[in-house]
Every structure is written in structure tokens, then in C-alpha cells.
Structure 1
């Protein structure tokens, strides 16, 4: 690792010597001097010099991240090796489990990717250059690396314009086309090779929230939802057309040498009118080319059906109704060639299985209050109620909803002009939901996620809208998945009760029956952590899952859990393998749906090697967990349950005492972290708050976590655990760590985040809050909790220093000095900004502060 670090340092210094020789000397000096000298040096720099230094330090961390990722890929475990391992351990049902397994990554627009697309694309190329140079001493790759770095040196790190929703989609489509589709296809082929049969369904299901996630984002509306679905459709069909055109050029097999199936020849005869006169002559003796030309014509017509005034003018036979028809055509071709000649046809088939005609399945998410707002207006017009239904007693509310659900479908168009603009928008969302399913693909959209679900009535409210739009009709297959999102600790505790109530409601029971008794439930890691601290959040998430699983048999419902994880530890991030294996028995059972947010997307899917590794890890771990659970008896009386509950209670109380019970804490937070500047960072289309209040409850989890990461205390990832462990010191904590996988995984994840804390830097941010009442007591609480946490993490893990003898420790500590430099720059700039009177100079300093935020995010490898 030291050799590679030296390589990065030399590359950056060489870049600086060529472009800014004086900055090269400053960079060398600041990276080798003590803290006091670092600060004095920064204070002596001009505006231009400090800007250049921030960029040099940011580029350094960018290259460091690439080295880290290259090293992590060296330990890549394939799906085949995991299958072999399970076979050696004499497990059975491996192939059946693999055949039905489903990994469902949902890519969101959560604003945590701090890098511009320009830098992401360069990162992609520089990754390949560094790998090629380190592996093969490729001098050409080294020169190309220097070329890319030189261009980045003269480019702005942060985007100046506010990012729009469809720009977010464009960024995600870059990942799809450059990496995810390619690597996903390889995974499907690998699984087919293991199973020695063609897959009928893809084990990877791609999802997206971009264009569908409206919760607190006024920039997502019906127009953006429709546009997102159409753009995805057009993108994937055009992608297919490129592949088919290439195959058409290559598959020149003649009737003189191959024997095509009768089915293929018959299909060509049926669709020959789709061939041009030239094609009919050219492909007279080349059936594969003829068929591929027909496929291309049908795909072109598929795009036209969404863009012409009268799509019915295109005959059904001239296009594809769904992707299954395309798969059938590809299978005809495969049946007419030998395996070698059909290699790329087989890849094309796998790609179509993966992406369908929709590319990524869109989720529609909205806050519960928005559904009630529209429902209330409609119910008052219809005479179901004369007051706000949200304020009525529970029994009366359910009585009104049941009565409304008993009634025949009404024509909402007749009420449309009487509704407020917000309510019209919501009503039309269900119309668009139905249109997307019918005109693009049945798989293009499915889940309607109800944010901040509090009770059973919230979902009955959504069910009423689903009925009016005919997305749900009794005795028919429903076209919508109504999914509660339980986010706070209180809501997680109430989740089983809410689901039990719904199962006993006649209307919802009929809805479940139309979904084959599958109920998707989304569990939120972010808000529960903001609500009660890291350990309590993890504990109550686990408890809620256990409680829900115990309901499955009694209610006759199968739950599909959707995990709302972020990138940082405090939002459910870090090692997926450990989290899954430690999850409650049968909580996976071959299915894992999870959000992939912000910087996590680039960290896992930026280039094909990383994406392949990420898919392999996910599929392998889901397989392992599912197989292990088939043979593992659940320990109903876990001897450590009381201890875990006690740790959870103590950590919850400690966290709440500081964050919610101290009336000065919100003011302290606003001054002692760079939240003021984070809210001005153009890294997403969403506002930083759900509501314009001064409450922590209404602040989104991402800027909350991001702010604490920036001031280097990383408070949400550990605060409360030290006091909780101290309170339980008489218990056998080390034994619990060895024997209880949940406790071990949680402690290990907290340890990784905790090692990134730099309390010396955090104390300098604390000094901004000297005028806040009780700020000294707040800092004393943070400092004392830090000492307790360090003491007990080391004790439990049996270490003298945290993460002793691990690659993670080396990587974190190697970054520390460089990160300090960026933090010192940020602190100095914030001080300058606060006292600066000249608006023009203030704007320059603001830009520099925002650039340091991006640099620190790269160094820590987390935003939110």
C-alpha cells in the first residue's frame, strides 16, 4: 500500500510542478508539517493558492479511492466459488434457490454524490489507467492518466448550477450504459452456466426512484414521472437496436451451411413485410440476418408507438407487445446456431431478461400527508365527511374509508376542477401510473411507497385511489404494490400491529389476495438512526423484522422487505455481506431489495469490474444466507436478548438526551457543522428539509449525517454506544461479540466509522459555537462519549488500538493527514466567510468552502 501511496503523491506533485510550481511546494510542505504549521501556512495563502491547494488535495483522494478499489477487487469472490463452497459443505437446494433468487437494487436520486459527472467519467478512465500501469507497467496508460488529471486540474470540481431531476436520470443512465448493463449481463450468463439451463427470469431486477420519488421534492411531478419512464424505455430500446445492428453484420450464416428451425423460417415468412425490398434480396439465403432485420424493425416501431398521435396505427404484428416476445425471437435464433456462433445472441438474451422494455422499474413514493390532503378534499365533495379526516378518531376514520371502498368506482375526472393543484397532481399520478404500465411495460412501475406510515388507515387511503384508477380491482390481478415505509423507531415498533390490522380489513385482505398474499414493507435506516441513534436503530430494525416474520404464518402473508439503506454507517451502509448474514433467519429467503444511493452508486457500479464484483457479492451473499437459513433453527430464547435490549435502551436515552432534549442542540448543530454550506451544494434536486421548520425531525437524514461527517465528529455513527456499553460493563460483552452475529456486525460497523473521527478537528468546529448557551456542556458530552466509545470498542474487539492489523485501519490512517489539510482549509474559509463584508469576495469564499466539502467527502468516502 505504501508503494501505491508514494505513486499517487508523485503523480500529484508532478502535475503541480507542470501547472503550478509554487503550489507544488505548498502541497509538499503542508503534507509533511505539524498541525500548527499547517494552519499558519493556510492562513498565509492567497485566494488562488488556497483554491489550488484544495483541488490538489481532492485529486489526491480521488486517486487514493481508485487504489483502494483496485485492491478490493483483488479479493473478488465469484458466484461459482460460493456454489462450490456450499456443495462441499453438503448443503442441498442450492440450484433451486439460485434459480428463484432475486437481487433488486433500487438506484435513488438521494443527494449524496458530490462529484460532477465530468469527474465521474474521468474517474472511470483513470481507474483503468492506474490498474494497467500498476499491473503491467503500461507507460501509455500512465501518460493517459496524466492527461486526464491535467484536464481535471483545469476543471471545476463542483457544479455551479442546481441539478435537475432529469439530469439525475441522465447521470444514472451513464452508469447503466457504461457499466451496469454489461456487468449484469455477465452475471446472468454465469448463473446460466452454473445452472446449465436458460434463465426464464432475471435474478437481478433493476429499480429507480429518479422521477418517482416525490416525498418532499417539489421538482418531481407527473411530468417528470412520465418523462423518466419514457426516457428509460427509449434508452434501452435504442441500446438493443445497436446490438441487433452489430449482430446483423456479424451473423452472415448461409442456408448452405446451417439448418434453421422450421419455427424460425415460418416466423420470417410471417414478418417478411417488415423487410425492405433490398433486405429481402440480400438476406434471401441468410435467415439469421433476415430475422435480425425484422427484430430491428419491430424495435424501431416500439419506440414509435410512444411518439405518434395514433399508436394503434401500428399493427401488433409490426412491433412487440412486451419483452417476452423479443426473448422468443432470440430463442428461435439460438435454436438455429451452434453454441459458439450464438455466444453474443445469448448475451443479448440475458440483457433483455435483465432490462426488459423499461430498463429500471420505477417506484412512486409520496408522504402520507399528501394522500390524506387529496382524499380529504374528495371525501368532503362526495359527502363522506365534513371535516378533516386526518383529525378524526381512528374508528371513525376506518369506518369512512371502508364505506368509501364499498362504493362503486367513481369518475375522478368529474371532480378534477374542484380540487386544489396538489390534489389534482396526486390524482393524476395514479392515472399516469396506469398509463406507464399499459403503454411502456407492466414492469415499468409497481410500488407505491407511503413515506412516514403511521397506521393502517394510511394504506387504506392509498387503496381507495388504487381502486378509482383501476390499478386494483377485486378478483383481478392488481397492478400496484402498496408499500408502507416505517422510518422512526416508534413506527418500526408499531409495524406488526399495523400489518395485522390491515390483514383483518376485508378490503385490504382482498387486495393482498390479488397480490398472491405478498406484502412489500420498506424499512428506513436513515430516519430511525436520526431518531434514536445508531445502536437503537439497528436493534429496532432487527426487532421489527423478527416480529413481522413471526406474523407471516399466522396471517398467511409473505413479506418482502425493502431496505432503505444509505452509504454511511449511520444510514445502514458498509459491508452488505456482514449485514445480510447477520439478519434474522428467513428475512431474505432468496429476495433482497435495497436502495443504492448517491456516492454508493459510483463506489459500487462506476465501471464494469466494480459493478460485476458488487453483483457477485450481492447474489452470492443472498444465496448463502438463504441456504444457511433453510438448515438453521431459529434460537427463540437468545441468551443475549436482554443485554442487547439494555444496550439499545441506554444508547437511545443517551442519544436523545443530547440531540432532542437539550434545547440548545439544534442551534449548536447549525453553527458547529457546515450545514449552512451543505444546503448550498448542488448535488441533488431535493431540498435539505421536508418542511421549513427548525426541528431536527424535519431535517433530512442525509444533510444531518453529511454535516457531522464534514466536521469530523461523525456523531450519528457512534454517539450513545459508549455510555450504553459502560452501563452494561458487568455483562459478558466480549462473549456476546463472539457469539451474537448481530452484535458483532453492529460493533464492527461502528468501529469502522469511529476510526474516521478526528476529535481535534471537531473541536475546532465546536469553537464556532462558543456563543451558543451550554455549548461547553454539549462538547463535554461529545468528548466524554468519545472516550467511553473508544475504550469499549477496543475492549470488546480485544484490541489495543481500534481495527488493529486490518487493511481498513491502514487505509483510514493513510488518509488522515491529507484530510486534516482539507479540514483546516474549510475551517479557515468559514472563519473568513463569517467576517467578510464584501459580497463579491464572500461569494468566492463560499465557492471554496463548497469545494472543500467535496474534497472531504472524497477523503472520508462518505457524504450521507
Structure 2
């Protein structure tokens, strides 16, 4: 098969260079590194052959060691396995760095449409240019960084990767060698479980080193291309932040940690400003600007290095002085160095004194408990009694009086209740120090009824806030299939509630609704989850337009397609006319952050892709992206069939047992990857509803079975074919951007699957039948996807991404064999507690490498 030009470039720029630079590892002056590096190719080849022969992992490992006399003792074998894991971890980093350094040469991804193509059209089409300019005045992209543990590079390793990318770009071999030495000495794991503040500090690296610079660059580009003043589009790119604010299921997030994170974000931002200001000050040595420079010197320095306990919002003062300097330069000094000042003005317009909006999130059950506590303890002052809280939904909504009685709470109250009330009070201080934009959203997880929102609003009024100045947006999160189906009813109850409608009007009639992929996929399977969210968007858009509400969808997207990741830009470009798409808001996390936003090049490209998607979906909308009633019915029926298939799997008596026994699910709770527990109600027996979607998806991906990303899709397509609907499915794939992207993302999940690794399980007495059921659906889905896309292999239309995935899977195959070997050794052998701990550590270390390697468009 003839390679495309991009494939040839990928092979030369990435694969060949990877092979060359890998050899540098062998020269590192570390104990036993050369020995490990020499053995690794033999071990990797041995693993490949064993997998091809469908051998159990213990057979593969034991037969390898049987070739070497020096590995008779278990301790020697374990030592080598540890060193192989450490070696491969660093190979993954090297591959990441090489791929990122080649980003421009490869031509970004297999898709090339972006802002540049749109701007080129606008130069010759004045009407199009006018429409783009008008759209940009009321359009934004908000990227919300979360601390969900889907990628595990600690801060120091991120710094090394960044430097390594630049060194590889310049073919600086001596520096590459030094950085690899540093990499060899730098720990990849945390000694202690990170706190929410630690997680925030880690993600702040991206804010400071990537987003701070890239957002200004994009604003400048738009200004230059469209001659649009930056003041008109100052909120085009927004950033959100969850570490320190997201307390849903994480008891380690407290009022104190929220306060520390808000303070840290403000301080880091001012240090960024101060660094830029020093460049400005060094260049502007002319008369007329002295006083303004002096004002800024004092203001920026003190906020950077001498922060006070309760600072105030200084955005106005900073901009006033910067604009005065700009005026002096333009009127008296021929605009010399004015671009430096304009760059800083753009950044201050974008980030103010807060850097990124800190979202607060809590589960609806905790909010209900908090209301109950206040009602129980302040009889007569709340205007409610216990019977009101136990009433029907309609009566419960009517029971809220929205009185503004401030209620104190006791330090004897449940810690989660104290935290809820405490953070509501803290939000006032955070807004005072960084404006309303510093923290303006409270997200209600597991939102099931309108009273969940109204009750939270009442809690704010009981903690000192006033209805007329309640500068908070209440954001319901609908995630399960059932919650998504009820979302329209919930929102209509809110839009018709007099008090809430008035609050919404004071907030500019803008309502944000969060739709989550993670739990909906775990709940209903891949096809039903995606379709449920799409249907909910159509219904909620129609409702918002009926009530004249400016609707914003906030998508809780994870890393892999099973959690809403994949080609997100294509989803947004293909929403169709029935779905509101004025603003794009989505969570980014883990390997999505590092792979798509980890360097200046990749971040600028991917943000521009999102901007392009939002603009093109409205300005040059593809009519076929708006689904017909017949198309909706076909997808509806397929989703129902897929859901039935997925539920038969979920309800299988071996479902959780299989995951617990064969995957590293248990190990996820013991490794230091996150401040958040692996499951809700962590002190109780494991139940599927309590298991976090990240742990659920990660466990399947470590098995290389990726069930949440495809299971049920093949059965749905078989049903469509048997019911003479195949021509409609083909038409959908060819013409609907939504359906096409959904299927292509499914192919990505399957490309990252490898059932050969666990094929030995087909003869297992306990799980053989269950494994066969999984494998049959995989093969069925694969056959139908190839038929639908008219392809010979999965992801044939995306050869560069496919090649990247396959190379990464090849790199980590030894990690998977080692991991499954360790899991089975613990399960099938009588080991001492000390031996068990050693093998658990091996499992933990392999998890890191496997997850870090699986980044390709998440």
C-alpha cells in the first residue's frame, strides 16, 4: 500500500527519530540502564510472540526468564521487571516529545481546516468577513481544566518534556542527552497522595507556560486578520479551573483548599504580568510614561511577591496605566514598542486579576442534606419545615420562600455541610479579589429536579447573599441517561419559576447547562450516551428559544472517546441548526491537556480548531448536519438496541467480578494519582453506580478491551441491517457530521483495543464465556465499521493518527504483560504480605505508563 505524504513525513520525523534517539538511553551513565536497554528489545519481541500465540502472561514472563540463568531468584526477576517499567515510562516521554516537536512538519493532524482557511475566504468575501466579525463579538471558547487523573506526569517531568521538545526541534543532541539524563534521575510518581492544592499547582504549569501566551497570540492574530479591536473580543477565549473547587465525591477539597487555590492562581498571574512588564519597562525609556510605569511597578510587584490577605480587583488600575502608556507611545514616540504594551493589555483583558474562573461543584445529595440541616436547626427562620422537604417536587418548589435570613452554622455539623456553607461565603471574598469572573459558577452534580437548583439558590440567601446582587450562575449537570431524558422538564420548571426567572434576567438571561459524558457512557453504553446527550441538546435548545434564554452548553468531556473525548472539534462543527452553539465550553483533563495543549504549537492549533468549529457551524452551516425526523428515528432505534445489549452486559453477574479480578481496578485506589477516591462511598462494598467513570474506563483500557467505547454498536448496526435500514446508516455516516464523528471516535477506541492480550481467557473456567461475549461484540462491531466506512483497517482515513496509536501500543505492550502477570501472581499464588506489596507496586507503575502513552487526541 502506497504511503501518503503525511505518513512518509510521520515515519521520517517521528518513527525514525524515535529509533535514533532511543539509542541515547543506552549511553546514560546510570547503574544497570544499559543492561535493561539491551534486554528490552528481546523482552518486547518475546511478549509480542507470546501474545500472538495467546499465551497467559505468566507463561510469557516465565519462559523469558528461563532463557537467562541469572534470573532464577524471584527478587532478581522482580528487579528487572521494575527497571523495564521505568525504562518504558521514559520511552513514552521521548515519543511524546518527538511527536510534539514534529507537530508543524506533520501538518497538525489528518484534518487541516482551521482559522487560516476561514480568514482566507474572508479576504475575498466581504459579507463573510462581516458575519465573522459580528459572530466574534458574542462568541467564546471556554476550556475548563480538571484534576481528573487521566494522565500522570508530575510537574518536573512536564518541564523536561517541554525543554526536550525544543531541543529535538533544533536537533540539539548534547542538550537532548542532558535532558534524558535528567529524565532518568527524575521520579515519575508522587511519594504521597496529592492534595487538591498540589493538583492545582501541577495544572497551573499549563496556565503559566502555555495558555497565558497562546491566548494573546490568537487574539493578536484575529485582530491583524480581521482588523477587529481586541476590546471587542476580549472574552473570546476563557479558562475555567476545577482543582480546589470540585468537591463532588472528594472530601479532601475544603474551604481552605479552595481559598489557597484562588490565592495561588492570582499570585501566579501577577508574576506572569510582572515578567512581561519588566520587558516593557526595559524598552520604554522615553519621557511621558515614567509615572505610569512607576505605578505599574509597585502594583504588579506587590501583588506578585507581597500579597495581602484580602486583595481587591486591580484590573481597572492596570488597564488604565497601560492604556496611558499606549497613548504616550502613539502620540509622542511614533508608536515605538507599542506592540509590547498591546500584548499585555490583551492578556489583562483576558485574565483580569483571577487568571481562570474557579468552578465550584458538589453533588445534589450533599446540598439537600445541607438544607435539611438548616431546617432542623433553625426552626421558624427558614420558612420551611421537614414535611416541605419530603413533599412532592411541585410542592417542594413552592415551599422555598427565598428569604434572606443569614443563618450561622455549628462546627459540630457534618464536615460536608460545613464545607458547603463555608464555600458559599468564601465566594464573596474570591469575587472581591478578582471580580465576578474569578468564581461565578456553582455546578450541581447528579441534578435530578428543579428543586436542587432552587434549594442551592436558597442556601446562598441563607449565607449572606442578596437576591438583587447574587452574582452566581447555577449550573445543573445532567449525566445519566435518565437524568438527560428529564432535563427538559427540570429546566422548564426553572424558567417558569418567578424568582429564578428574575435571577436569570439579572444574569443577562444566560443559562449554562452541563452535560456529562462519563457517567452516561457507564450508564447506557457508547451509542446511547452520545445520542442521549445530542437529543437533550435539541430539546433544551428548543426550550431555551421558547423562553428567550441565551443557552450555553458546557460539555463534561473526558480523555478517551468512551468519556466524550476524541475529535471534539468535529462534534462542535456539526451540531446543526437545532442545537445552540454560540459558546463552546468543555472540560479538558489528563492526557488531553498534555497532548492537545501541552506545547505552544499544539495549544494554538487546537484552540483555533475549536474557534473554527464554532464559527463554521453557524456561518457556513452544513444543512445535512441538521438531522431529519427519519434519521433521528433510525439513530433512536439503534441507540435503544445498543442500550439493550449494553445492559445485558452490565447486568451480567460476572461484570464487576471480571473487572475487579483481571484489571488493575483495585490498584487504582492505592496509587498516588489523585486527591479524589476511586469511588463514591469509598468505605462500602464496590457497586457500579458508585464507581467513578474514570476508574471504570481506565480499567477497561488497561485490559485493552475498551468496552465503554464500542460495546453495543455492532449489535445496533446488525439490527439496522436486518431491518432494512442499512442505507440510512450509510447515508448518516456520509452526510451527518455528528454521526460520522461518533463512528470515527468509536474506531479510535477499537484501534486502541487488543483482545489478543487476554485471548488466553477464552478457555478460563470462570470467565471464558464472559470474555467470549466481549470478543464477539468487538469482532462484530469491527466488521460493521469497516463495511460502513468502506475500509480495510480501522482508522484507514486517519493514517497518521493510526500509525501513532499503533506505535504507542507497541511501546507499552511489555507493560501490559507485566501488569497482567503481577495481577495473576497475586491472585493465584500464596504470597506473603511483603511479596504482595511488591507486586502491587509493579501494577501501579505500569498503570502510569499505559495511561500516559494513550494520548492520541485523547
Aligned 1:746-785 pairs, distance under 5 A:
746-764=742-760, 770=764, 772=766, 775-785=767-777
Change (3 A) 1:822 1:470: same
| Corresponding residue for residue 236 of structure 2 | 203
Greater shift, 525-534 or 615-624, is seen at 615-624
What are the superposed Cα offsets for residues 35-93 of structure 1, whole Å, 9 maximum, x if unpaired? 23964455455222212222222222222233333444442566343222355576351
Find out whether 1:51 has 2:44 as its counterpart: no
Find out whether 1:651 has 2:642 as its counterpart: yes
Alpha-carbon distance, 1:371 to partner:
0.9
> Do the aligned partners of 1:752 and 1:803 also contact (CA within 8 Å) in 2?
yes
> Do the aligned partners of 1:361 and 1:445 also contact (CA within 8 Å) in 2?
yes
Change (3 A) 1:447 1:511: same
| Corresponding residue for residue 144 of structure 1 | 175
Alpha-carbon distance, 1:379 to partner:
1.7
Greater shift, 104-113 or 448-457, is seen at 104-113
What are the superposed Cα offsets for residues 360-412 of structure 1, whole Å, 9 maximum, x if unpaired? 111110100111111112123324555375543223322322xx32x4x1121
| Corresponding residue for residue 534 of structure 1 | 526
Alpha-carbon distance, 1:304 to partner:
8.9
Change (3 A) 1:617 1:637: closer
Greater shift, 295-304 or 747-756, is seen at 295-304
> In 2, distance between residues paired with 1:465 and 1:860?
42
> In 2, distance between residues paired with 1:142 and 1:740?
47
**Matching residue within 95, 105, 116 for 2:133:** 95
> Do the aligned partners of 1:17 and 1:24 also contact (CA within 8 Å) in 2?
no
Change (3 A) 1:833 1:125: farther
| Corresponding residue for residue 679 of structure 2 | 689
> In 1, distance between residues paired with 2:641 and 2:831?
47
> In 1, distance between residues paired with 2:36 and 2:520?
45
Find out whether 1:833 has 2:826 as its counterpart: yes
| Corresponding residue for residue 250 of structure 1 | 283
Find out whether 1:844 has 2:838 as its counterpart: yes
Find out whether 1:670 has 2:660 as its counterpart: yes
Gaps of 5+ in 1: 134-140, 254-285, 312-319
**Matching residue within 365, 369, 384 for 1:369:** 365
Find out whether 1:193 has 2:224 as its counterpart: yes
> In 2, distance between residues paired with 1:304 and 1:161?
28
> In 2, distance between residues paired with 1:441 and 1:303?
18
> Do the aligned partners of 2:313 and 2:434 also contact (CA within 8 Å) in 1?
no
Alpha-carbon distance, 1:295 to partner:
1.5
| Corresponding residue for residue 637 of structure 1 | 628
> Do the aligned partners of 2:706 and 2:753 also contact (CA within 8 Å) in 1?
yes
| Corresponding residue for residue 2 of structure 1 | 11
| Corresponding residue for residue 358 of structure 1 | 354
Please give the secondary structure, in 1, of the residue aligned with 2:440: strand
> Do the aligned partners of 1:80 and 1:194 also contact (CA within 8 Å) in 2?
no
> Do the aligned partners of 2:481 and 2:529 also contact (CA within 8 Å) in 1?
yes
Find out whether 1:299 has 2:300 as its counterpart: yes
| Corresponding residue for residue 13 of structure 1 | 23
Aligned 1:306-385 pairs, distance under 5 A:
307=308, 321-337=313-329, 338-380=334-376, 381-383=378-380, 384=383
Aligned 1:158-307 pairs, distance under 5 A:
158-200=189-231, 201-253=234-286, 286-300=287-301, 307=308
Alpha-carbon distance, 1:127 to partner:
1.3
> Do the aligned partners of 1:248 and 1:288 also contact (CA within 8 Å) in 2?
no
Find out whether 1:446 has 2:440 as its counterpart: yes
Please give the secondary structure, in 1, of the residue aligned with 2:170: helix
Alpha-carbon distance, 1:632 to partner:
5.2
Please give the secondary structure, in 1, of the residue aligned with 2:811: helix
> In 1, distance between residues paired with 2:144 and 2:808?
31
> Do the aligned partners of 2:354 and 2:435 also contact (CA within 8 Å) in 1?
yes
What are the superposed Cα offsets for residues 648-688 of structure 1, whole Å, 9 maximum, x if unpaired? 001111011101x2233111211121101122221211111
Aligned 1:463-502 pairs, distance under 5 A:
463-473=457-467, 476-502=468-494
> In 1, distance between residues paired with 2:97 and 2:121?
30
What TM-score comes out, normalization by structure 1 length?
Answer: 0.88
Alpha-carbon distance, 1:350 to partner:
1.1
What are the superposed Cα offsets for residues 415-439 of structure 1, whole Å, 9 maximum, x if unpaired? 5467444323222221111121123
Alpha-carbon distance, 1:529 to partner:
0.6
> In 2, distance between residues paired with 1:65 and 1:332?
44
Alpha-carbon distance, 1:541 to partner:
0.5
| Corresponding residue for residue 6 of structure 2 | none
> Do the aligned partners of 1:165 and 1:219 also contact (CA within 8 Å) in 2?
yes
Change (3 A) 1:66 1:389: farther
> Do the aligned partners of 2:662 and 2:823 also contact (CA within 8 Å) in 1?
no
> Do the aligned partners of 1:209 and 1:364 also contact (CA within 8 Å) in 2?
yes
Greater shift, 518-527 or 463-472, is seen at 463-472
> In 2, distance between residues paired with 1:509 and 1:588?
20
| Corresponding residue for residue 398 of structure 2 | 399
Change (3 A) 1:551 1:231: same
Please give the secondary structure, in 1, of the residue aligned with 2:263: helix
> Do the aligned partners of 1:522 and 1:564 also contact (CA within 8 Å) in 2?
yes
| Corresponding residue for residue 572 of structure 1 | 564
Change (3 A) 1:299 1:129: closer
Find out whether 1:824 has 2:817 as its counterpart: yes
**Matching residue within 375, 388, 405 for 1:410:** 405
Please give the secondary structure, in 2, of the residue aligned with 1:670: helix
> In 2, distance between residues paired with 1:17 and 1:439?
52
| Corresponding residue for residue 669 of structure 2 | 679
Q: How many residues align?
A: 803
How large is the RMSD of aligned CA atoms in angstroms? 2.5
> Do the aligned partners of 1:546 and 1:584 also contact (CA within 8 Å) in 2?
no
> In 2, distance between residues paired with 1:195 and 1:220?
44
